[in-house]
Amino acid sequence: MAPVGRTLLILALLIAGYGIFASLYGVRTGRREWVDSGRRAVYSLAGVTTVAWVILEAAFLRSDFSFNVVAAHSSTTTPTFYKLAAPWSSQEGSLLLWVWLMSLWSSLILFLTRHRVREIAPYATAVLLGFGAFFTSLAAFFANPFATSANPPSEGAGLDPLLLHPSMMIHPPMLYSGYTLMTVPFAFAVGALITGRLGSEWLSVTRRFALAGWLFLGVGIVLGARWSYTELGWGGYWAWDPVENAALMPWLCITAFIHSMMIQEKRGMLKVWNVSLVLASGTLAILGTFLVRSGILDSIHAFGASTLGVPFVILLAVMISGGIGLVLWRREQLRSDAQIDSLLSREAAFLFQNLVLVAMVFVIFWVTFFPLISQAITGTKVSVGPPAFRPFIVPLALVLVALAGIGPIIAWRRVTAANLRRNFLIPVLAGISCTVILIAVGGVDDRPFALAMFGLGTFVLASVAQELWRGVGARRAMTHELPPVALVSLVRRNRRRYGGYVVHAGIALLLIGVAASSSFQHSRNVTLMPGQSTSVDGYKIAYVRPTVAATSQKLSFGAVLRVSKGGHPVTTLRTTRGFYPSQDPTQGPIGRFFNGEADSNVGLRAGLTRDIWTVVNPDLTPLQSRISQGDALFTAAIKKTESASLHLPPASAQTAMSQLWQLRDEAIVGIASRYVTHPWPINFLFIVDPLVTWIWLGTLVVILGGLIALWPVPRLVRRRAKAAAPARTAPAPVAPVREPA
């Protein structure tokens, strides 16, 4: 089916080209049928790339090594679950995934808006198909997933062991969905700029897609953090890696847009700012893809150096220069209709929050690209690393959390001193109380930033709780519903507002977790023999016994550890390090099973207050002499058996080789067993980390809030609201019509 896949890629390119022409011709001549045909080109692109994707997945599932990409990224021993995920571990497959997801999201928005935004949509269609054409060209001409080999190998190289993790099944599609969803607001912003329709219409159309992109990208980022925490074996969840930063920048930018677009919707302000944020988010999403594809910055996530850098640089140059040109061209129409009435208003808080978010993006961009900037200026690539981020990001994050608490409890347009007192009293008292209690308990005096984050996080949680409490009270005063029923009704009828508040609470939980785990972490790197123990943060950790396991996939060397505190058992931890067979024949017939790629399986006891985390890093040097002996013996035996096989019937030759492989496997198990029978000192990393679980719980709360905000308003509520509002805005005096809160 590879030729079909290659043909479909060419067909996809032709469809994208036609769609761009049809959309632009239709909108320029005012002929609706051509615009509709252009929109249907997007549906067709989605259909064709879906078929192409199914062909690629089927090749992976069948272990069809005639596909180069399958031979390089899968093997017959790769579990089926991971064969499904293997396509996006490759450069070629991930490009196809990008264009496939982009075409699906584009089809969805163009279908939903087929009777709306009729002036803007054709230009947006052309832009989306432009992205489709770009990525299809890359997949067709630079990194073709359907390239085949005339002499396919009998076995594939297998999937990178680090990617053998459940979150890898959903982390890349989540990130890519986030990136591709961000092209949707970008395309509609370009359409709005070209047509000059810069009011509320394009915002109302793209809001939900911006929110979906924000949610998907955010979930993708946290899944990556979870993978790092449980798979990479260094004990952290965030390393300020360029690829991590590349995902964080558009997420911060679209977060700013989701807030500032409300100011434009309500007040007609910040039009330049909003289109700029959307254009920046779209460009940063492409930049993120570029960083992963090009390998220009060193990252554990990057695909290594490739030839895709130049096309991406050209695309980014077009996006940046085109975006700036369009904004300058429409600068008159982008003037604000109003001004901020007071600095004590929600608009002002949102604006300040936007500035903080953009400042964060600027810092992250500057420090991430500093190696390239330094190389361009001095000729030397200088990496500054994580410490360069903290002095800027930590204070900005504190301001951001404070604003996340202020936003929900401050009113739009104007605030009086009495209202400020009434709304801020309880949350501020809660924040101060938390801070005072923590100071009294002790242990936080030398970590002022963490202490401030705990106080501000409590302030946010209290402000959200107060809002929900008062909302439920207002609802019950009108309807006399039971509190839980009133809460559900309140949230259902005001999903944007209360979904947003829940997100704020989740972010507060998450950042409290980040502050605690990064400021109060205790770690120890120690070498132990079975029976020996060490102490970390009051926990006694004893190395009970070594473990070894040999499967067709890998050799695992591990340890069983017993954790106790004050003489009371706490938990038993099991950690292993797995070695996957290398495909490099120079490693030797035995050595290649001990010297291939390795992954870590951490021993983790997660809890609400703290995680106890450990990883074993076994040094296999004591086995090396036996491995070398085995290599010499089996190299000679293999040569001898192969020569002898030339004079034997094929069935007998195969039997002879099978017996030899069986002996080799027994030798490998025998050598590996010495890890248990003749144990030697093994290196462990132990970490006791408080409140890490809050990061994952906070994320779940954020997802819940995001889904609430994304969920469509029930039709009944929309109808009632539509009926009520015109009545209340009628110029003649009318009886007040009250829409239940």
Partner 1 sequence: MDVVVVVVVLFVVVLVISAPLRRARQTDAAWTGELAELEAAREAKYREIRDAELDHRTGKLSDADYEALDSVLRAEAVVILRQLDDVKERAATAPAPASGR
Q: Which is nearer to partner 1, 204 or 572 (CB)?
A: 204
Q: CB-wise, 370 or 412, nearer to partner 1? A: 412
The answer to whether 250 touches 286, Cβ cutoff 8 Å, is no
**Contacting positions for partner 1 (CB under 8 A):** 1, 3-4, 7-8, 11, 15, 18-19, 22, 30-34, 36-37, 40-41, 43-44, 47-48, 51, 116-120, 195, 197, 199-201, 203-204, 265-266, 409-414, 416, 418-419, 422-423, 467, 470-471, 473-474, 477, 494, 497, 721-722, 725-726, 728-731, 738-739, 741
Least distance from C-beta 19 to partner 1, angstroms?
8
Shortest separation between residue 633's beta carbon and partner 1, angstroms: 49
d(CA 286, CA 294): 12
- Which of 33, 445 has the CB closer to partner 1? 33
Non-local (6+) Cβ contacts of 482 within 8 A are none
Q: Could you tell me the CA-to-CA distances from 153 to 65, 76, 148, 157 in Å, in that order?
A: 6, 11, 11, 9
The distance of closest approach from Cβ of residue 499 to partner 1 in the complex, given in angstroms and rounded to an integer, is: 14
For residue 687, the minimal CB distance to partner 1 (Å) is 44
Q: What is the dihedral of CA 220, 226, 228, 231, to 10 degrees?
A: -120
Beta strands 539-550 and 555-565: pairing type?
antiparallel
User: Residue 665 or residue 739: which is nearer to partner 1 going by CB?
Assistant: 739
Report yes or no: 535 and 560 within 8 Å, Cβ to Cβ. Answer: no
CA distances from 503 to 49, 79, 102, 176, 508 (A): 34, 36, 26, 22, 9
Side chain identity, residue 289: T
Quick one: DSSP state of residue 81? H
Q: Which of 243, 225, 242, 221 is nearest to 234 (CA)?
A: 225
Instruction: Specify the residue, 150 or 377, whose C-beta has the smaller distance to partner 1.
Output: 150
Closest CB 268 distance from partner 1, rounded Å: 8
Measured CA distances, 19 to 132, 205, 280, 400, 415 (Å):
10, 21, 25, 43, 51
Structure tokens at 238: 């965030």
Residue closer to partner 1 by CB (options 150, 732) is 732
Total residues found in the chain within this entry: 741
In angstroms, the CA 737 to CA 716 distance is 16
72: Cβ contacts below 8 Å, ≥ 6 apart: 90, 156, 157
To partner 1, the closest distance from the beta carbon of 545 in angstroms equals 57
Least separation in angstroms between residue 73's CB and partner 1 is 23
Strands (E), 88-132: none
Rounded Cα–Cα distance for residues 99 and 324 (Å)? 25
Q: What is the smallest separation between the CB atom of 400 and partner 1, expressed in angstroms?
A: 21
C-alpha–C-alpha distance, residues 204 and 706, integer Å:
17
C-beta of 468 vs 590, nearer to partner 1: 468
Which C-beta is closer to partner 1: that of 147 or that of 741? 741
CB closer to partner 1 out of 171 and 346? 346
What is residue 55's three-state secondary structure? Answer: helix
Cα gap 125→106, rounded to integer Å? 8
At 317, give phi and psi (nearest 5°). Answer: -60, -40
Q: What is the phi/psi pair of residue 157, to 5°? A: -75, -20
Contact 198, 271 (CB under 8 A): yes
Residue 495 CB, nearest approach to partner 1 (Å): 12
Closest distance between partner 1 and the C-beta of residue 414, in Å? Answer: 6
Q: What distance in Å separates the CA atoms of residue 612 and residue 603, rounded to the nearest whole number?
A: 8
Nearer to partner 1, 26 or 233 (CB): 26
What is the rounded distance in angstroms from the CA atom of residue 712 to the CA atom of residue 727? 24
Instruction: For residue 626, give both structure tokens.
Output: 């036996």
d(CA 69, CA 520): 44
Of the candidates 36, 27, 208, the residue with the CA atom closest to the CA atom of residue 111: 36
Q: Which helix (H) or strand (E) holds 687?
A: strand 682-690
Nearer to partner 1, 273 or 557 (CB): 273
Is the CB of 639 or the CB of 728 nearer to partner 1?
A: 728
In the bound complex, what is the minimum distance in angstroms from residue 401's beta carbon to partner 1?
A: 20
> Minimum distance between the CB of residue 624 and partner 1, rounded to whole angstroms?
51
| Of residues 41 and 319, the one with the C-beta less far from partner 1 | 41
Q: How far is the CB of 348 from partner 1 (least distance, A)?
A: 15
CB-nearer residue toward partner 1: 498 or 594: 498
Q: What is the smallest separation between the CB atom of 15 and partner 1, expressed in angstroms?
A: 6
